[in-house]
Amino acid sequence: MNKNKKMTIKFVQTLLVLLLGFCSYGQNSWYVSQQTGDDANDGTNASAPFETVEHATGFLQPSDTLFFMGLFTNTSYEPDYAYANNINDPHLWTQENSIRFSNVNGTENQYITFKSFDENTLLKGDGANIFRGLNCSYLRIEGFDIYGEVENIPLSTAKALQFLYRENNSANAIYRVPPGTSDLEVGNMSFPVLENVSRPSYTDTRGLYLTNVHHIDIINNHIHHTPGNGMRVSDCDYLNIIGNEVAYCSLKSYSGTHGLVVTNAFSFDNETGYKINILQNKVHHNYNEIYSWAPTKDIITPKIDEGKGISMQRNEPSTGWTHGRFLIANNITYWNGFSGVHANAGHRMDFINNTCYMNSYTNSITNAGSEQSGNNVGVSASVSDDIRIYNNIAFVDAGWGGFPISIRNTTDLEVGNNLVFGINGTLINDPDLQNIAENTITGNPLFADAGVFNFSLLENSPAIGMANPSFAPAVDFFNNARVSVPDLGAVESDLLSGTVTYFERQEINAFPNPFSEEIIFKNLDENGSPVKVYNIYGQDLTHLINVDRTVVSKVNTILLPKGIYLFKIKNTTKIMLKE
């Protein structure tokens, strides 16, 4: 890979951070509320919303925004449901979706936006999927709270339903494995291959699931406590998955699921640059509590060996992924079952400046002290090709022999400038990397406070100034600019100013965005934190704005020319567009 190609990492991510979202603000706004709406309404204002998403999407044109108001659930949702040992209880098998839509298509530079109306918008469900989309393009999905039922499903229920299935839409459930069968017996059994079967949706509910899509932005969503996959995008190209939090997903599923998955990508065109970007996501505590089985396999392996954080699966020429690259950068992953970031049968992928901490929940917590179930605990690739792994931090539990960076049957591999560290034992590195990895640092990264998941770097961290600048993105997890000699991991230190960039940040809301003459900032502190503004070239233009705090914090911007600006308040940066 030549230097110019490497530098596109910085260029592409800078453009994504600065421009993403400014092409997709709606010319027309529509509103939908499952609780108070009516499809007989005109849906053009918050006081008269539509009732159903299916109806609302029929009105959407390129550049429109559909605002989701209030609570959304599947039809038979029961927040207090408790399994009563009836394997044919219809509630277990509903296959319902809380939200389902298809064929929503914007155009280039005129994305359709699905957006949470306010902090009261909540998507819940106990069917097959909470948020389900098919056959869509040029669509932005922003700001949703997608909340599953993990906290209401006892482990005993998940195990009781683990081996149930139905054939050909039958109303009667069948056990793949008889109740009471020991794991030893399961491991020695063989099974007939099953086709066209269904399994209980109640313990496999997915959070956000998109299929057959391209040019999709999934931005700043919180997906959590879903029994199955948190976020899954399949048969796809041109994705921007940025700034999401995916947590406590996949715990109760029998399918061997993960937190954030992109699978079966196809090449929409012949472009060779970055087309699938997974950036600045926080992915944690996604693990399996029961082992999985597949109807199409004739054996069942009775151990937990799935439950990863960010997992790229089967993105290869055989699925149609023939042109373009993945960029997985600036993500923070911790306490997932196995692996923080992973590629299985992945082609043309770059794992850059990710922070991966203790991604071995299964062996360290769930099955502590029992048999090892895999080596992948940091950054990993299996049966893949054309993989680049640079500038990452992999902090692992070394007590049972997992590899901080792991490869298996992977070709055309570059590995450089990574920091690895292990606790609870002697760190073991993957022997397959012995003649490949360059400039690996072994040492404690000295996080500010990993106990509360603050992965900033203390001033004497060995990760500071050790990144390969040709690969390092222009900004870090928090959109703070990286310096010319950048750091390893997702969070850049800020030692020049005598401070450290902290993981938990003050949430400050700014609207409207885009703006014309005035911006209102909410949640500024009482002492009036200074508001500073910079253009995309880093020039300080604070002298061109005026801050009025007499009633609320208003910023007069009449002297600013049209363009893209970064407003900085304390340790928070807001990217804003003046038009």
Q: Which residues have CB under 8 Å from 215's CB, separation 6+?
A: 106, 108, 111, 137, 138, 139, 237, 238, 268
pLDDT band at residue 315 under the 50/70/90 scheme = very high
Say what the pLDDT of residue 26 is. Answer: 54
pLDDT band at residue 569 under the 50/70/90 scheme = confident
CA 72 → CA 100, 129, 203, 208, distances in Å?
Answer: 11, 12, 19, 13
DSSP secondary-structure letter at 50? B
Please list, residue by residue across 75-97, b when 16 or more beta carbons sit within 10 angstroms of its beta carbon and e when fewer do.
eebeeebebeeebeeebbbbebb
Q: Which of 94-103, 448-457, 494-503 has the lowest mean pLDDT?
A: 494-503
Say what the pLDDT of residue 384 is. Answer: 98
Cβ-based neighbour number of residue 454 at 10 Å: 15
Say what the pLDDT of residue 503 is. Answer: 37
Q: Which residues have CB under 8 Å from 128's CB, separation 6+?
A: 94, 95, 96, 97, 201, 204, 205, 206
Q: What is the CATH number of domain 3-457?
A: 2.160.20
d(CA 483, CA 235): 37
Is residue 25 pLDDT above 80, yes or no?
Answer: no
Say what the pLDDT of residue 18 is. Answer: 47
What share of the chain has pLDDT > 90, as a percent?
75
CA 421 → CA 360, 392, 441, 461, distances in Å?
Answer: 14, 11, 8, 12
Query: Are the beta carbons of 281 and 242 closer than 8 angstroms?
Result: yes
pLDDT band at residue 568 under the 50/70/90 scheme = confident
Per-chain mean pLDDT for the chain: 90
d(CA 531, CA 542): 8
**Of 352, 353, 333, which is closest to residue 490 (Cα–Cα)?**
353
Is residue 224 pLDDT above 50, yes or no?
Answer: yes
Query: Are the beta carbons of 393 and 445 closer than 8 angstroms?
Result: yes
Say what the pLDDT of residue 505 is. Answer: 36
Pairing of strands 71-72, 447-449: unpaired
Is residue 23 pLDDT above 90, yes or no?
Answer: no
Is residue 509 pLDDT above 70, yes or no?
Answer: no
Compare 95 and 374 and report the one with higher pLDDT.
95
Q: What are phi and psi of 359, to 5 degrees?
A: -85, 65
d(CA 177, CA 191): 9
For 347-385, write each residue's pLDDT tens digit.
999 999 999 999 999 999 988 877 767 789 999 999 999
For 128-185, write each residue's pLDDT tens digit.
999 999 999 999 999 999 999 999 999 999 999 999 999 988 999 999 999 999 999 9
Compare 61 and 17 and report the one with higher pLDDT.
61
Give the mean pLDDT of 103-126: 96
d(CA 84, CA 315): 41
Say what the pLDDT of residue 512 is. Answer: 81
pLDDT band at residue 538 under the 50/70/90 scheme = low
Instruction: State in Å, rounded, how far the first CA of the chain is from the last one.
Output: 39
Compare 520 and 92 and report the one with higher pLDDT.
92
d(CA 577, CA 23): 10
For 429-440, write each residue's pLDDT tens digit.
999 999 999 999
Cβ-based neighbour number of residue 571 at 10 Å: 17
Chain centroid to Cα 221, Å, comes to: 8
Say what the pLDDT of residue 444 is. Answer: 97
Say what the pLDDT of residue 11 is. Answer: 45
Is residue 331 pLDDT above 90, yes or no?
Answer: yes
What count of residues does the chain have? 579
Cβ-based neighbour number of residue 378 at 10 Å: 33
pLDDT band at residue 116 under the 50/70/90 scheme = very high
What share of the chain has pLDDT > 70, as a percent?
89
For 275-310, write each residue's pLDDT tens digit.
999 999 999 999 999 999 999 999 999 999 899 999
For 39-75, write each residue's pLDDT tens digit.
999 999 999 999 999 999 999 999 999 999 999 999 9
